[in-house]
């Protein structure tokens, strides 16, 4: 669905089933049918172009509030405003929230966000006093989104287009990798850091990261995030 509709789609729980819905035309419906083998269609009411905004809501993680620009954040929050777009990460996904919870446990220092997506973790780190902050991603759209969101949040984040599996990465005090089970293990072998936060995998999975010992785990709704220390 991300490949078919990078501009966004809905996820709706129907009992034990998950329904995926996109606003599209007949050609789009045909693409869904070819990909999944099953599709149903219905006409949409007026105002559908703005309906997607209902599915992007702010979330509170400790002192942080992460949300879209059309919502009003709490007056007492450290605010991270993320414009939903084609890069992954608005702050609402469990893996992002779990990474933020673990990030709040760490002392501020140099920070690297590997696979930055929309830049939410890098920007939150900068807001919490980490610095210098570097964000890397292999996707040019993610790099553009992170740079744009960093500017709108008035934080200093160095954003680079890079392949974390082969390109040089800066040595930092803290590294965050919200990727996948295999990817975080590969990144852990390459990144030079004292503290590592990983996520992007299920709670039933546990990454193997040579050179690090496990410190803590957070879980929510079937997802997990882990904190590691070098040595």
69 and 44 within one domain? no
pLDDT recorded at residue 163: 96
152-190 confidence digits (pLDDT tens): 999 999 999 999 999 999 999 999 999 999 999 999 999
Beta bridge partners of 227: 197, 216
Which among 72, 2, 71, 62 has a CA at the least distance from the CA of 32? 2
Q: Assign 17 a pLDDT band (cuts: 50, 70, 90).
A: confident
Which run of H or E residues covers position 81? strand 78-81
21 and 108 within one domain? no
Asked whether 157 and 151 are in contact (CB, 8 A), the reply is: no
Q: What is the mean pLDDT of the chain?
A: 90
pLDDT recorded at residue 43: 75
60 and 48 within one domain? no
Residue 63 lies in a domain: yes
36: pLDDT strictly greater than 90: no
149: pLDDT strictly greater than 80: yes
48 and 84 within one domain? no
Residue 3 lies in a domain: no
Average pLDDT over residues 201-220: 95
162 and 190 within one domain? yes
68 and 34 within one domain? no
128 and 20 within one domain? no
45-81 confidence digits (pLDDT tens): 665 555 556 656 789 999 999 999 888 999 999 999 9
Other C-beta atoms closer than 10 Å to the C-beta of 210 total 7
pLDDT recorded at residue 190: 95
Give the side-chain half-sphere CA count within 13 A for 138.
Answer: 8
192: pLDDT strictly greater than 90: yes
């Amino acid at each position: 669905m991300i490949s078919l509709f990078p501009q966004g789609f809905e996820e709706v729980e129907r009992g034990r089933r998950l329904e995926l819905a996109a606003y599209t035309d007949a050609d789009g419906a045909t693409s869904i049918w070819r990909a999944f083998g099953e599709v149903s269609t219905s006409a949409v009411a007026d105002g559908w172009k703005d309906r997607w905004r209902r599915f992007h809501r702010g979330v509170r993680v400790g002192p942080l509030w992460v949300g879209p620009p059309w919502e009003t954040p709490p007056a007492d929050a450290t605010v991270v405003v993320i414009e939903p777009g084609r890069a992954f990460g608005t702050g609402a996904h469990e893996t992002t929230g779990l990474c933020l919870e673990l990030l709040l446990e760490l002392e501020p220092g140099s920070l690297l966000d590997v696979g930055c997506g929309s830049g939410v973790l890098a920007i939150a780190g900068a807001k919490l006093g980490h610095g210098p902050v570097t964000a890397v991603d292999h996707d040019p759209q993610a790099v553009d989104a992170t740079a744009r969101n960093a500017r709108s949040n008035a934080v200093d984040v160095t954003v680079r287009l890079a392949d974390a599996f082969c390109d040089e990465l800066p040595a930092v005090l803290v590294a965050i990798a919200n990727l996948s089970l295999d990817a975080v293990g590969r990144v852990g072998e390459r990144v030079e850091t004292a503290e590592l936060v990983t996520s992007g995998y299920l709670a039933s999975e546990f990454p193997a990261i040579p050179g690090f010992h496990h410190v803590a785990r957070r879980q929510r709704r079937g997802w997990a995030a882990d904190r590691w220390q070098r040595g």
